[in-house]
Chains A and B, each alone.
Chain A
């Protein structure tokens, strides 16, 4: 990303401050790793409840990421054009879940999709009950993760500009063709990294899920909820599971910000998420 900044050295105090910042982030992780009960690590992370939570987290996060792409890409495309009316007002609003405390997000979702919620009563008439279902987990994760995709993709769209689209349009390509043949291939790396960030955020989602979806093994108890619960009785299990969560998240962020080659990364991601999510 910052290939253009290799020419000159940074002032010493910047490097020093960066080192402090890096330590601030890495030290707690190291402290956690030091507390791991290695002889029990494998049995702890492969217990029934742990595997159920991990599987559920990977499945729901994958579906949430897909929903983020389906709903978020059009949002980013619209926001990146300055011609959308009310866009200045709309952007901070749709990005709200980014700054909203997750518990507040959960309450808002409850008032929307819950049994007595805004849409809940209509859904109830249709025989759909969201409360305490895996769908509620996916809704909560999508709600909190979508802004990551929108922000990331909108930034890429604005940086890449509209010159190529303009040329394609001049040559007679219709808007749909411009979008699929020019715009999206251009911003694919941004889309992939946005999707990865969304996946990582969905994987770590706790507050909204707890408030909105509940907590039952196999259907709504995701890995972060399982970690919190394990802490009650077996802190060693909680720490071991935390490391698994960190490892998956690091892998995901690594893919997102790794070397160039967006489509190769996308393929890796797809095969990886398929392998990681049984059924």
Chain B
């Protein structure tokens, strides 16, 4: 008897827990208690520092609003958005991924290009392979790491290789620019091709060696409010902040070029 009652109680507890868990997981339950307005921004990983700063300024300028930021590779974010992830604004590190979102999830109006970025050579602070130019990277024995051609930084690397007439033989083709930076800052690689803003954000862990052909591949960053946004007015205001003078200033300080 007691065994049966205990079992029934356990089942009830389990059912209650499950129901609680499910309701806690559903977004509607979380938002019911918040009267404030929220803008959810999906932004390319390279925008982490600048967008965190801009989100802070936006919240200060719009009391009662909060900005939720999600950073990842642009293609990762585009895939999430096209699978129905709820967001208000998308800022991509390249135009190809913005085009994917335009074609599937849909954006409001036309995306605005708000910044640009170029490649640079990242070397460990001591520069053990004495790299001073792009041609130095092709020297036998120099361990060079680039992005795989499927990711934007890799496509840019191929473009500058062609523009400079240099053929690189990388020891690794990484899946993201952060992985390239990690291999260089840890000293595993002698050099890597990353964005100017990456070396700036990395502080003293890597040194940047600029090269002329870098201008051959200028990466453009577009931003747009999403068609599925629940608060299109607020989304548009965030886009205006990023593309406006204040955004320009914050992005410029981080090493981003003009659009």
Q: Is B255 interfacial (CB 8 A cutoff)?
A: no
A214 touches B145 (CB 8 A): yes
**Among candidates A11, A13, A214, residue contacting B183 with C-beta atoms closer than 8 Å:** A214
**Among candidates A114, A221, A229, residue contacting B186 with C-beta atoms closer than 8 Å:** A114
Contacts of A217 in B (CB 8 A): 173
A215 touches B174 (CB 8 A): yes
**Among candidates A17, A114, A216, A235, residue contacting B171 with C-beta atoms closer than 8 Å:** A216
A230 touches B186 (CB 8 A): no
Q: Per-residue 0/1 for A216-244: is the Cβ within 8 Å of any B Cβ (1 yes, 0 no)?
A: 11001100010011111101000000000
B173 touches A132 (CB 8 A): no
Q: Is B172 interfacial (CB 8 A cutoff)?
A: yes
Chain A 1-25 residues near chain B, CB threshold 8 A: 11, 13, 17
B14 touches A17 (CB 8 A): yes
A232 touches B172 (CB 8 A): no
Residue of chain A at shortest CB distance from B190: A115
Q: Per-residue 0/1 for A179-197: is the Cβ within 8 Å of any B Cβ (1 yes, 0 no)?
A: 0000000000000000000
Contacts of B173 in A (CB 8 A): 215-217, 221
* Given known contacts A210-B179, A229-B175, A110 and B145 CB-to-CB distance under 8 angstroms: no
Interface bin, chain B: 20 to 34
B171 touches A132 (CB 8 A): yes
**Among candidates B79, B143, B170, B175, residue contacting A225 with C-beta atoms closer than 8 Å:** B175
- Best-buried of B7, B11, B174, B188 by chain A (most CB within 10 Å): B188
A47 to B69, CA, bound (A): 38
Shortest C-beta distance, B86 to chain A (Å), equals: 20
Shortest C-beta distance, A207 to chain B (Å), equals: 11
**Among candidates A13, A116, A211, A232, residue contacting B150 with C-beta atoms closer than 8 Å:** A232
Q: Is A131 interfacial (CB 8 A cutoff)?
A: yes
Contacts of B145 in A (CB 8 A): 214
- Between A and B, 12 residue pairs with Cβ closer than 8 Å are A114-B188, A115-B186, A116-B186, A132-B171, A214-B145, A215-B174, A216-B170, A216-B171, A220-B172, A225-B175, A231-B79, A233-B150
A residues touching B (Cβ–Cβ < 8 Å)? 11, 13, 17, 110, 114-116, 131-132, 210-211, 214-217, 220-221, 225, 228-233, 235
